[in-house]
Structure 1
């Protein structure tokens, strides 16, 4: 992309070319020396070059995008959740129906999020959608509860699970792994994932493809072993599939809740829309491919579980896949725990990737300090946002009882998924009354029925969550509402331009010098025809 081409576009849009060349550098944050000149900082994919502007390149192919969806969904859930689903259903037949229903419900949400991603083609996911449809306050509350509270907790829990699988063989038959060893290995794992994503987008994508292939390999081993048993005539668990079915609606709802937990992750690609190659095609196709792969694999895996293990055996163990391996795989039983560990680490890689992009997007929208919107000019990755996400997560590794903390925020997951879709319904209603907005005339519109069904089901899921843990969910709701005074405090502080701005500029300059970073340029998304879009914050902070 030539610099003259970009400059002409930026001049037409009233961007930095329209500013006087002798504007004072003291009016800007502390950018690099090149940035203080009227000429913008120029870099390309590999480093300094006067023929390109700074941007996050579109490096995520449709294969990598599909692996992010499938890898985000297929985490530790399929290896442990069958117990929760069967416990609520009471029978093999109803548990299979619940797994299917959870997959169909996920499809309705995925359809709505595909439309949201095409309507608002920015990275940031639900944060951007809530800001655009419901205002800045809702976007800030999402950042507060999802990224500052829930995601660090989930990241710590996932890495601790990985650490247990990795270091347990070193301690043999010891009943308890030393506390320090477990926490240090988990913290080191999260730091390594952060470092990997700091190096290059493509490296993180390739790592995700490998981990997704490993977890699918583990599940294929389970499926093949289970169906061999069925072919040999071991079908006694399917002769009376609905025997013992629960008559308690509350128990069935809790079983469905466990199944929905295993399907979580289909929205991750919306957090990195700007980094997808040909996002108008890749986003919907990858979402549906990844979700289809996950749903089919989940159904076949559960059938394989029930072909080998009785319902009573499944209910007596925590790790169903490990019990299956002990029974069926003989000497290679150890491969399943290894694949479970890889599955967990792959899911955590998706979390690191998407969380950092949301911090990056929030900094561009002035919700967070501008230093988080910097890009490394060599690697073209948002390194300050990645490091900030790591700094939020590391203290969680030294909290003694993380599981008791995460229960307070379980219902936040469904609120943060349902509210953007509710905002989509609101926008569709406004467009029906006042006509489509100029920038959404070419947006793909899926039937609104799917969005309405998804929102109604999210409300029901929230009701089940409060039914199961009323006190914990009320505490979590209170923590969420604490974000309201924090929002107005932050807005009040941001209006005081004196000392706060000086400290912000000093932090920005420090990050630029330490990490070799700069702000990316701002070019109209619709003007680009070569597969790149460039959203920047340079003008926003002038």
Structure 2
């Protein structure tokens, strides 16, 4: 790509929105309400609801408790998203929780948020989704007793990452069209499961559900981990805040998109799990690594072979949404001097963050060859720590800057409740999974020396150089 194809986007001192007030090029408002709903729904619904609801069931103890956990996770994420709506309209810059923590608490906490997301959470999530897409796509070509070779899976995952990165670099409009189409496809897949389960029950096949719904006993120790597994399936509820700068009429469309997308996903998740439980006994759900496939083999007949297609479509759309928002996080960090300035460059024609997208793609490609599943588990701690930090930023800014314009202002009880939930989600793994949490803490703290050398020392060196220049 020619050197002049990209130009930096200086941040406006007044608004922090990155509008090109100094001759630079800014991101354009091309994301509509429908696109916003597609980003949220498409980023949340990946492979989890098709593959492993057994994790929630195993920890919850009973099917009824598992359904309540799925519902509770949806309600909690909706409350969190509404708190983020206040933040997103109060500080309408790209970057999500990184930008909010920076505004409230300063450079180091914000950099650590950026460090964990850019270097670990985002690339790992993109790699996992890409690998899942590859595995289910190749499942169409390989028999169930002969899984696809690892090399083939990694190559196809790499192709998916590179293809979607190229599309994200080329056009925002094309990216949003892909997001909308694939979100529709995954909702159609889930709707098929819901209808099939409903028809199965309507035909009088209620024995499995009635016999097992209250079977077993809820586990007090397991419920926190059940919520952890459920909330992982809801991951992506905050991604629209990363593109607030590109959202048309953000003060109206951000809360509208949240109000449509989160209740929709919650309803779909609960109904899909009811369909699973109507057809499969809990033991079968716990034993199956791909519950949707087991469900399809029982009730969908010849159509069962479409399930791997649906999962592949779902993960492809989810990967597209994560890539789209990841590039915007890089921009926010580069604008503040926490990442190399080149990562804030915007393509002149496409108005897309090409350097940022290329870097996040490269980091994801590197992680395709690493055992990243344990890594993701240990970094769930860091993920909820950063979300809790963003909600704490909302409360702190309410106290320190009460006159800051707030087009949306939620009841104070809402962010307090969400913050308490985040504290719970951070503390529980420390007790239940100290080894993985400890690694997450170490990986987060590893960003401190990077900040000192790469940000503080570089800025002081730049100040000294400017004095000599004068």
380 and 239 in structure 1: CA distance in 2 versus 1, 3 angstrom threshold: same
Which shows bigger deviation, 466-475 or 104-113?
A: 466-475
Does the CA contact (< 8 Å) of 1:372 and 1:385 recur in 2?
A: yes
33 and 301 in structure 1: CA distance in 2 versus 1, 3 angstrom threshold: closer
Q: Which runs of 5+ in 1 are unaligned?
A: 1-30, 36-51, 502-542
> In the TM superposition, what is the alpha-carbon distance from 1:335 to its structure 2 partner?
1.0
Q: Does 1:417 align with 2:382?
A: no
Which shows bigger deviation, 70-79 or 233-242?
A: 233-242
> In the TM superposition, what is the alpha-carbon distance from 1:374 to its structure 2 partner?
1.1
Q: In the alignment, which residue of structure 1 is the partner of 2:195?
A: 224
Does the CA contact (< 8 Å) of 1:156 and 1:394 recur in 2?
A: yes
Tell me the distance in 1 between the aligned counterparts of 2:145 and 2:53.
28
> In the TM superposition, what is the alpha-carbon distance from 1:167 to its structure 2 partner?
1.8
253 and 34 in structure 1: CA distance in 2 versus 1, 3 angstrom threshold: closer
The total of aligned residue pairs comes to 448
Given the alignment, which residue of 50, 58, 70 partners 1:99? 70
Q: In the alignment, which residue of structure 2 is the partner of 1:140?
A: 111
Given the alignment, which residue of 465, 468, 471 partners 2:429? 465
Q: Does 1:402 align with 2:367?
A: no
Q: Does 1:67 align with 2:26?
A: no
> In the TM superposition, what is the alpha-carbon distance from 1:193 to its structure 2 partner?
0.7
Q: Does 1:448 align with 2:448?
A: no
Q: Does 1:257 align with 2:228?
A: yes
Which shows bigger deviation, 241-250 or 367-376?
A: 241-250
Post-superposition Cα deviations, 1:5-40, rounded to whole Å, max 9, x if no partner, equal xxxxxxxxxxxxxxxxxxxxxxxxxx96999xxxxx
Q: Does 1:493 align with 2:463?
A: no
> In the TM superposition, what is the alpha-carbon distance from 1:170 to its structure 2 partner?
2.9
> In the TM superposition, what is the alpha-carbon distance from 1:134 to its structure 2 partner?
1.1
Q: In the alignment, which residue of structure 1 is the partner of 2:256?
A: 285
> In the TM superposition, what is the alpha-carbon distance from 1:498 to its structure 2 partner?
10
Does the CA contact (< 8 Å) of 2:209 and 2:279 recur in 1?
A: no
The secondary structure found in structure 2 opposite 1:375 is strand
Does the CA contact (< 8 Å) of 1:94 and 1:245 recur in 2?
A: no
Q: In the alignment, which residue of structure 2 is the partner of 1:12?
A: none
Given the alignment, which residue of 52, 55, 76 partners 2:47? 76
> In the TM superposition, what is the alpha-carbon distance from 1:214 to its structure 2 partner?
0.6
225 and 91 in structure 1: CA distance in 2 versus 1, 3 angstrom threshold: same
Given the alignment, which residue of 416, 430, 442 partners 1:478? 442
TM-score (norm 2): 0.91
Post-superposition Cα deviations, 1:171-217, rounded to whole Å, max 9, x if no partner, equal 33563422222111111110101001001111111100011001000
Q: In the alignment, which residue of structure 2 is the partner of 1:430?
A: 400
Q: In the alignment, which residue of structure 1 is the partner of 2:288?
A: 317
Q: Which runs of 5+ in 2 are unaligned?
A: 8-22
Post-superposition Cα deviations, 1:327-367, rounded to whole Å, max 9, x if no partner, equal 11000101111111111111111111111001011111111
The secondary structure found in structure 2 opposite 1:398 is coil
Given the alignment, which residue of 283, 290, 308 partners 1:337? 308
Tell me the distance in 1 between the aligned counterparts of 2:145 and 2:206.
38
> In the TM superposition, what is the alpha-carbon distance from 1:500 to its structure 2 partner?
10
Post-superposition Cα deviations, 1:423-443, rounded to whole Å, max 9, x if no partner, equal 111111234xxxx33xx2343
Larger radius of gyration: 1
> In the TM superposition, what is the alpha-carbon distance from 1:445 to its structure 2 partner?
1.0
Q: Does 1:211 align with 2:176?
A: no
Tell me the distance in 2 between the aligned counterparts of 1:429 and 1:387.
39
Tell me the distance in 2 between the aligned counterparts of 1:157 and 1:134.
32
Tell me the distance in 2 between the aligned counterparts of 1:494 and 1:203.
39
Q: Does 1:372 align with 2:343?
A: yes
Q: Which has the higher contact order (CA 8 A, sep 6+)?
A: 2
Post-superposition Cα deviations, 1:29-54, rounded to whole Å, max 9, x if no partner, equal xx96999xxxxxxxxxxxxxxxx973
Post-superposition Cα deviations, 1:241-261, rounded to whole Å, max 9, x if no partner, equal 653343431112211211111
Does the CA contact (< 8 Å) of 1:81 and 1:258 recur in 2?
A: no
Post-superposition Cα deviations, 1:243-298, rounded to whole Å, max 9, x if no partner, equal 33434311122112111111111100000001001111111110121111101111
Does the CA contact (< 8 Å) of 1:162 and 1:344 recur in 2?
A: yes
Does the CA contact (< 8 Å) of 1:363 and 1:370 recur in 2?
A: yes
RMSD of Structure 2 on Structure 1 (CA): 2.2
Tell me the distance in 2 between the aligned counterparts of 1:423 and 1:240.
47
Given the alignment, which residue of 371, 378, 382 partners 2:353? 382
Does the CA contact (< 8 Å) of 2:296 and 2:307 recur in 1?
A: yes
Q: In the alignment, which residue of structure 1 is the partner of 2:160?
A: 189
The secondary structure found in structure 2 opposite 1:334 is helix
> In the TM superposition, what is the alpha-carbon distance from 1:477 to its structure 2 partner?
0.4
Q: In the alignment, which residue of structure 2 is the partner of 1:538?
A: none
359 and 34 in structure 1: CA distance in 2 versus 1, 3 angstrom threshold: closer
Q: In the alignment, which residue of structure 1 is the partner of 2:19?
A: none
> In the TM superposition, what is the alpha-carbon distance from 1:58 to its structure 2 partner?
0.7
Does the CA contact (< 8 Å) of 2:328 and 2:353 recur in 1?
A: yes
99 and 442 in structure 1: CA distance in 2 versus 1, 3 angstrom threshold: closer
Which shows bigger deviation, 162-171 or 329-338?
A: 162-171
Tell me the distance in 1 between the aligned counterparts of 2:142 and 2:308.
15
